[in-house]
Amino acid sequence: MKVWFTGTGAGRPNKHRNVTGAALQLPEPHCAWWLFDAGEATQHQLMKLPLKLSKLEKIFITHLHGDHLYGLPGLLSTRSFDGGVSRLDLYGPIGLKKYIETIFQLTGTTLDYELVIHELAENASDEVVYNGPGFKVEAKPLLHRVSCFGYRITESDAPGRLLTDKLQQLGIEAGPLYGRLKRGETVTLADGRVVTPASVTDGIVPGRIVTVLGDTSPCANALLLARGADLLIHEATFAAGMEAKAHEFGHSTTSEAALAAREAGAKRLLMTHFSGRYSNEELVNLEGEARMVFPNSAAALDLGCYEILRKVSGEERGCPE
C-alpha cells in the first residue's frame, strides 16, 4: 500500500508546490487506487505518477474549498477519455452533488461511466461510509470554517504465513487450496476434512490503518480518526508559535499536528497543506518542530511516494524512484 501526493500546498498553487491531493494505491490483488481531495491541476500531477485514471475507484473530498476541489470536474471528465468505464464513487460534504451537476450541465459534460455521489452529513449517526472487500472507511467532521471531514481507512486483517510442513502433514499439496487458505477461506478436502486458515497459518497479520484529515484546528474527532493509525496525514499550514493565526482560519501548526499523532498513538505522521510563505528549503525546519513532539514526523513532498508496510514491526519508507 502506497500514498502518493499530487499536491501539498494550501490556498493556491505556488512555485514550491501544487494544492492539496493524495492518492492511496491499494495493494494487490485490488489493482485500484483512491483519491483524497483534488485541488487545481490534480490531473496534471497524476500524469507524472504511475496511476491510471481508469483504475481510479473512489474519490473522497474533505471539504468544498477550492484548493481541495477545483481539479475535480476536469479529472472526472478526463477519466472517460482515459479508458474509465467502471463505476466511480465520490464522497464528500453536502453540496458536492450540486457542484458537479451544475458544472456538467453548464458545460455539456457527459461521462462514459456511472458516477455515484455520496453526500455526508455532519450529524449522521452512521460514520461508516464504505464497508467492502478488504477495506472499511469511516468519516467524522472536523473543526474548520466550512463543513469538513477526515477519513479513516482500515484494511481487513489477513492470515499469516502458511505453515507448509503442517499442510503437507495434512496431505495438502501446493496448488489452488494454498491460495484459498492464504486468502482466509476455509476449505473442505476430498475426504471431508475441514481445514481453517487459523489451523495452518502462523497467526493473523493486522490490517493497516491510514488516516487522512482535511483542514482542521485541533479537535477530538481528529484524534479518534487517527487512533492507532499506521499513517496519519495531517495538515500543518503554519509553523509552531502561530497557533492564533492558524485557529483563526481553522488550521493547525506543525507542533499541533505532531501532538495529535502522539496523543492518538499513530505510528507515523506526514504533514501537508503548507502555507505558501514556506519554501521547500524551509520544510526541514517545519519537520524539526514536529519531531520535537513526535519523532516519526516528516513533511510530505509533491509527487512524493510513501509506502505503508503491513507488518506492525516494520518501518515505513519512501518507495524507490
Which residue positions form the known binding site? 63, 65, 67-68, 144, 215, 273
Which among 248, 320, 237, 317 has a CA at the least distance from the CA of 283? 237
Cell of 126: 452512521
HEC sequence for 65-111: CHHHCCCHHHHHHHHHHCCCCCCEEEEEECCHHHHHHHHHHHHCCCC
- Which neighbouring-strand residues pair with 205? 158
Instruction: Go through 72-95 and write b for each residue having 16 or more CB atoms within 10 A of its CB, e for each that does not.
Output: bbbbbbebbeeebeeebbbbbbee
Instruction: Go through 276-313 and write b for each residue having 16 or more CB atoms within 10 A of its CB, e for each that does not.
Output: bebeeeebeebbebbeebbebbbbbbbebbbbbeeeee
Which residues carry a binding-site annotation for Zn(2+)? 63, 65, 67-68, 144, 215, 273
Per annotation, catalytic residue among 67, 112, 165, 191: 67
How many residues are present in the chain?
321
Does the annotation count 67 as an active-site position? yes
Cell of 187: 476449505
Active-site residue set:
67
